[in-house]
DNA sequence: ACGCGGCCGGTAAGCGCTTACCGGCACCGA
DNA sequence: TCGGTGCCGGTAAGCGCTTACCGGCCGCGT
């Protein structure tokens, strides 16, 4: 048989397998790929040799020869930042990107593709090299929001299939996003119409994020429709992170500014920071101030009160991104420039509604 | 310049770049890899051509030629299961594996490696093919717990460098884990000695998981040391998931069996299910029953009361796994068969201690 | 009994890179 | 002025696969 330390020696190739099975390398390859129906007996001999040797074909050689790597690159943004002199790692942020990635992974798996992952740091001012490296190792790219500038995307999309998530379509890349506007409209109406709250603020995310822009616009629209004025502006600017939401509330309280009756946060994480800070200062949620999120990340239902938010089909977002990319890779013609997935309002306690509790773990993101 | 739809045509190669720059392919390669110091003028011409063409070298060809893919495969377990006729997706479980993966990613990035990820389903009875495929596309493998049987690990480890997480070392693979025993000892002592609780149960995880075995043993040891008897046994068997913990408590309550003064859960997720179910039945935590977890996943500090648990250096576990694997890949001799990382007790409210609250997001997992 | 069509399976030509090897040229010392 | 010495950079040989192409052999029909 083999010695234990074989991997220190030259790795096995199909030549080794062929020699052992007493056939040619072509036959080995054919058996391994199930093409051209080799005779059962030949097939068996090859399989036996493969088994005995523990042979695993080299992916690079395979990819080089048939121009298909069966790998899709996923680039996401790593959020870690210096906050108040303390290094803080927003691990909650894991959730959103990672649920998407799992969605991609599941779908990719169905097609025999694997995921090549790489993150881009916030500080990273030239992620191009990194992304090019991924591009060279994969058949197509899925880019999360905020990982590459629009021009960068256009550049790379000219040479390889690209799907963006929560971005904007370009002439050569497709975008997949969820229906921010509809979700935000439904949520804001719930607050202003169903609950009849007289004042409401929108605590923004990154100003340049398409998601944030769409959410803010829908918010403004409903507010105007109802005939009141939404509180926005510089002081209500967050950064999609809990720390950002916390800072906004701290600032407002420190300056003794009034609080609105309801705070609509750009995403769930921001709401986490807001709710925590309000509680610290003795402001009750939802009795004094209602708070809502956006995304419905898993932790949302663990908060007290449980968070009313807009559910994005996070898992499906990823799955869809892969499907679209796959159709581009296999050259079935480029689909429409943008795919929009529906959102839905998830009413829990933080908006002021009374709802019975559901075990936080009995939920599906599919 | 180039037409927008170039990626529908034959992809660029270094020949195209060489032609455009008026040099040979060798020079292009040298410039791209920064070897053999080509003359500045030559270098500039090549760079210009690369820029104009938007050339990205093919990873497969590169890998094939220099026997280094700069890719490390990571295989983790996807947990989704049929529960009480309802499909339930334990997305909290994302956290543990994903924090590890991020740790791997960060370290890999430092070395210019990318992560090739693939999950194995619980039902998947022959993950070997899947893992072989990953092995063929990478320079080495990091296998999470419960993705491959020990014999499978041995087989694959003979042909490629393998690091396991929370598993057991084999003659040809290295294991990285945290010091379960020390953490559990410290935790159990805290409960029995500091708090002086008279009765305590251990709510187990998967019976065959090395982590679970180590934790259970340490628990038993301390309990015996103190001179009382720990509650264990069939009814206290969970499955590392919230639903498992919930089921145990429901069963006990349904049978009107007594509850211990403290419940030590095999991991945080189990504790989530336990705490939720206790609250449902009006049992107060920690006044009536103290509950503790293990792992310190991010959501632990969002629970009410915040969860007392044992911190595993989750992020570092991943980073270390990569470091070890890297040293194996670069052939710096195999390190010790097992690397054990220290754990630490994190005292929060659920054990009965009074502690001041810290913003849940101001925590680092590094 | 001979010719022809099919089916197997072997031979060899790439896939796009890296790099050993070597030839050419410029510059130096004698 | 001529030979020696480097330095650049071109040529070509792989890396481990897939697959087009083709030769051999078996079995059929006439």
Q: Give pLDDT, residue B87.
A: 36
Task: Say if residues B348 and B301 touch (Cβ distance below 8 Å).
Answer: yes
Q: Give pLDDT, residue B84.
A: 38
Q: A4 pLDDT exceeds 60?
A: no
* B326 conformational bin, left if phi > 0, alpha if psi -120 to 50, beta if neither: alpha
Q: Give pLDDT, residue A364.
A: 54
pTM comes to 0.89
Which of A260-274, A324-338, B146-160 is predicted most confidently?
A: A260-274
Average pLDDT rounded to a whole number, residues A319-326: 96
Q: Give pLDDT, residue A48.
A: 94
Show the tokens assigned to B141.
């493998």
A-chain residues within 8 Å CB-CB of B102? 78, 94, 119
Q: Three-state DSSP class for A257?
A: coil
Cα distances from B331 to residues A138, B113, B160, B334, in angstroms, run 27, 16, 12, 7
Show the tokens assigned to B144.
């999470």
Residues B266 and B245: their CA atoms lie apart, in Å, by 9
Task: Say if residues B302 and A302 touch (Cβ distance below 8 Å).
Answer: yes
Q: A235 pLDDT exceeds 80?
A: yes
Judged by CB atoms closer than 8 Å, whether chains meet at A137 and B60 is answered as yes
B125 CB-to-strand D distance under 7 Å: no
Question: Which segments of chain B have a pLDDT < 70?
Answer: 1-9, 37, 79-95, 333-334, 363-366
Q: A127 pLDDT exceeds 60?
A: yes
Average pLDDT rounded to a whole number, residues A248-273: 96
B7 CB-to-strand C distance under 7 Å: no
Q: Give pLDDT, residue B6.
A: 42
B-chain residues within 8 Å CB-CB of A272? 302, 360-361
Distance, Å, A32 CA → D27 C1' = 29
B102, B119, B362 ranked by CB distance to A105: nearest? B119
Cα distances from A95 to residues A300, B25, B163, B360, B363, in angstroms, run 11, 45, 26, 15, 16
Average pLDDT rounded to a whole number, residues A301-327: 94
Average pLDDT rounded to a whole number, residues A116-122: 87
Strand C contacts in B 32-71 (CB under 7 A): 32-33, 35, 55, 57-58, 61-62, 64-66
Q: Give pLDDT, residue B4.
A: 40
Residues A316 and A319: their CA atoms lie apart, in Å, by 5
B87 strand-pairing partners:
B82
Of A85 and B178, the structure prediction assigns the larger pLDDT to: B178
Identify which of A315, A210, A212, A226 has the alpha carbon closest to the alpha carbon of residue A264: A212
Identify which of B174, B168, B177 has the alpha carbon closest to the alpha carbon of residue B150: B168
To the nearest whole angstrom, how far is the Cα of A209 from the nearest Cα of chain B?
A: 22
Task: Say if residues A78 and A130 touch (Cβ distance below 8 Å).
Answer: no
Judged by CB atoms closer than 8 Å, whether chains meet at A361 and B61 is answered as no
Q: Give pLDDT, residue B142.
A: 98
Show the CA angle centred on residue A63, arms to residues A57 and A66, nearest 5°.
110
Residues B252 and B91: their CA atoms lie apart, in Å, by 26
A-chain residues within 8 Å CB-CB of B57? 136
Show the tokens assigned to B85.
């006729």
Q: Which nucleotides of C are covered by protein (CB under 7 A)?
A: 8-12, 14-20
Judged by CB atoms closer than 8 Å, whether chains meet at A92 and B56 is answered as no
To the nearest whole angstrom, how far is the Cα of B133 from the nearest Cα of chain A?
A: 7
How does residue A11 score in pLDDT terms, banded at 50, 70 and 90? confident
Q: Read out DSSP for A94-153? A: HHHHHHHHHHHHHHHHHTT-EEEEEEEESS-S-THHHHHHHHHHSSEEEE-TTSS-HHHH
Average pLDDT rounded to a whole number, residues A186-210: 96
Average pLDDT rounded to a whole number, residues A3-19: 72
User: What is the residue-averaged pLDDT of chain A?
Assistant: 89
Q: Give pLDDT, residue A199.
A: 97
Judged by CB atoms closer than 8 Å, whether chains meet at B362 and A243 is answered as yes
Q: Give pLDDT, residue A35.
A: 77
Q: Is the dihedral of CA A323, A324, A329, A331 positive or negative?
A: positive
Q: Give pLDDT, residue A95.
A: 65
Number of other CB atoms surrounding residue A364 within 10 Å: 12
Average pLDDT rounded to a whole number, residues A277-302: 93
Burial of A56 (0-12, 13-18, 19+ CB in 10 A): buried
Kind plus residue range of the DSSP H or E element containing A262? strand A262-265
Helices B180-189 and B210-226: crossing angle in degrees, nearest 10, is 30
- Weakest-pLDDT range from A54-63, A262-271, A337-346, B91-100: B91-100
Q: A3 pLDDT exceeds 80?
A: no
């Amino acid at each position: 048989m083999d010695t234990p330390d074989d991997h220190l020696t030259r790795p096995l190739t199909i030549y080794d397998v062929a020699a052992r099975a007493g056939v040619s390398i072509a036959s080995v390859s054919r058996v391994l790929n199930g093409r051209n129906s080799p005779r059962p007996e030949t097939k068996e001999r090859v399989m036996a040799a493969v088994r005995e040797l523990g042979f695993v074909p080299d992916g690079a050689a395979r990819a080089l020869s048939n121009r298909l790597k069966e790998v899709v690159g996923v680039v996401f943004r790593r959020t870690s930042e210096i906050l108040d002199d303390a290094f803080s790692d927003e691990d909650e942020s894991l959730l959103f990107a990672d649920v998407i990635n799992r969605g991609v992974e599941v779908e990719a798996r169905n097609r025999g593709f694997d995921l090549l992952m790489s993150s881009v740091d916030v500080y990273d001012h030239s992620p191009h090299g990194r992304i090019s490296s991924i591009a060279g190792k994969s058949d197509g790219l899925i880019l999360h929001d905020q990982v590459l500038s629009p021009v960068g995307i256009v550049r790379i999309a000219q040479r390889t299939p690209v799907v963006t998530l929560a971005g904007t379509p370009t002439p050569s890349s497709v975008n997949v996003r969820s229906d921010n506007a509809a979700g935000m409209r439904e949520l804001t109406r719930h607050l202003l119409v169903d609950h009849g709250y007289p004042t409401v603020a929108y605590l923004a995310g990154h100003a340049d994020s398409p998601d944030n822009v769409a959410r803010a616009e829908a918010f403004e629209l409903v507010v105007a429709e109802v005939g009141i004025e939404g509180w926005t502006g510089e002081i209500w600017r967050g950064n999609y992170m809990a720390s950002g939401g916390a800072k906004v509330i701290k600032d407002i309280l420190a300056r003794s500014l009034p609080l609105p009756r309801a705070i609509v946060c750009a995403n769930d994480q921001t709401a986490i920071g807001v709710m925590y800070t309000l509680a610290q200062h003795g402001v009750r949620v939802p009795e004094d101030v209602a708070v809502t999120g956006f995304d419905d990340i898993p932790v949302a239902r663990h908060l007290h009160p449980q968070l009313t938010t807009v559910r994005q089909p996070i898992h499906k977002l990823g799955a869809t991104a892969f499907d679209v990319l796959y159709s581009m890779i296999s050259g079935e013609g480029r689909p429409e420039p943008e795919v929009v997935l529906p959102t839905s309002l998830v009413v829990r306690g933080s908006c002021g509604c009374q709802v019975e509790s559901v075990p936080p773990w009995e939920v599906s993101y599919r």
